[in-house]
Copies of this chain bind each other. A is one copy, B any other.
Amino acid sequence: MPTKAELQRLRSLRDKKHRETAGLFVVEGEKVVGELLAAGFGFEEIHATADWPGAATHRLTPEEMAKASHFPTPSSVLAVGRIIRRPLPPTGLARGLTLLLDGVQDPGNVGTLLRIADWFALDRVVLSPDSADLFSQKVINASMGSFARMTVHTAEPASALAGLPAATPVLGCDLTGADVHTLEPRRDAVIVIGSEGRGLSAATKPLITRYVTIPRYGGAESLNAAVAAAIVCDNLRRVTA
């Protein structure tokens, strides 16, 4: 039987400060835990009531789950994973296709962008430290399991983009670049997506080697960051796949 302190510990992991101290994150809900397990994610602990049909490391009563959970109506499962922030690979971003998120702050957008990177089989996602926290439940939920399938690195965009060979273009999305339909085939490229409010950061802008834009026909001033990234990926895959 879990102690009161143990239930409080689980509950506290929803708080970023506490999860950084513990080096652990928590996700709740049959759907998201099921998606991560199906994608092969190895949890440290799985706390579940009798209603959870899968394996569990700890069994809780519904009353205990209510104390550990952040949900008004607790689900049957709460899983704890280890926080691992991968530094850049030794070869950097020179090879393959990278999606670099430069201060994307909405957790739903970050999760949707992981899902898009996974759909288009990009080689990796790089998350700037000022983007939404990868280990928040909202990011993981919105990724629909892609959290467990994508390789995500955490790095400052400017250092990640420094020293790339000329054969690896750094594509920035804005409203005045080249038509995205004119992208030529590229096996190696970095697609940079800026923040929802301010766009690309001042440190990143000088490192963009080519701006691309999605042709606009109507009155909207912009497209959502995830929508824009998906259209760029579709066009890049169209010519490189």
Contact = CB atoms under 8 A, between A and B. Distances in A.
A211 B120 CA distance: 20
Contacts of A108: 108
A121 B217 CA distance: 5
A53 interface: no
Contact-residue bracket for chain A: 35 or more
Nearest to A143: B220
Contact of A115 (B115, B117, B224, B231): B224
A31 B222 CA distance: 15
A234 B214 contact: yes
Contacts of A117: 218
Contacts of A180: 234
Query: 7 shortest A-B CB distances, which residue pairs?
Result: A121-B218, A121-B217, A119-B220, A118-B220, A149-B219, A227-B230, A118-B218
Contacts of A86: none
A171 interface: no
A136 B223 CA distance: 21
Given A115-B224, A223-B119, A217 B237 contact: yes
Contacts of A116: 220, 223, 227
Nearest to A226: B227
A145 interface: yes
A222 B143 CA distance: 11
Nearest to A232: B234
A217 B119 contact: yes
Interface in A18-49: 39
A108 B117 CA distance: 21
Nearest to A235: B234
Contacts of A227: 112, 116, 226-227, 230
A11 B202 CA distance: 42
5 contacts: A115-B224, A122-B218, A144-B222, A217-B241, A231-B234
